[in-house]
Amino acid sequence: MDDSKPIRTFRDLEVYQTAYQAMLDTFRSILSALPAEEKYDLVDQLRRSTKAIPRLIAEGHSKRHQKKGFQKYLDDAMAESNETVVSLAQAKDLYPSFVDARLCERLMDTYDKISRQCYNLAVAWDRFGERKSARKTNDE
């Protein structure tokens, strides 16, 4: 994403875009490949965690004006992303004849990146808020 492009909505956030695409890839290629006996366990867990990440980013963005609001949602998104990495590793290791191991690895790398992006965005947003507050104080 171009750094100079303004962030008008949560859809402008690179982490949201990455998380949404990874969710689609997981649904299309991993969930449908897992065996039926995992329908209420691993499939259900992956379904919930992958869908939660972009939702949490979107919801958090709506609370970006609160001092710690956005950071809490980004922390939760990071936790869901980390959980997704573990679930993908389980899918790859438990069902190598069902899922593409290389795709699982790529998705695990993507979700690891999403976790780092959530953390970095939370830190940057906090610093931005501090700079904004400092400017407001200096202008008064």
User: Cα 94 to the chain's mean position, in Å?
Assistant: 24
Type of residue at 11:
R
User: Cα 72 to the chain's mean position, in Å?
Assistant: 13
Using 50, 70 and 90 to split pLDDT, how confident is the model at 134? very low
Buried b (16+ CB within 10 A) or exposed e, 27-38: eeebbebbeeeb
Q: How far apart are CA 21 and CA 9, in angstroms?
A: 17
Class of domain 12-139: mainly alpha
**Which DSSP string corresponds to 28-83?**
HHTGGGS-GGGTTTHHHHHHHHHHHHHHHHHHHHTTTTSTTHHHHHHHHHHHHHHH
Task: Please write the tens of the pLDDT for every residue from 19-51.
Answer: 999 999 999 999 999 999 999 999 999 999 999
Per-domain residue ranges for the chain?
12-139
Rounded to 5 degrees, φ, ψ at 66 are: -85, 140
Task: Please write the tens of the pLDDT for every residue from 67-115.
Answer: 688 889 999 999 999 999 999 999 999 999 999 999 999 999 999 999 9
Q: Give the per-residue pLDDT at 14.
A: 94
Q: How far apart are CA 82 and CA 40, in angstroms?
A: 20
Predicted TM-score of the model (pTM): 0.85
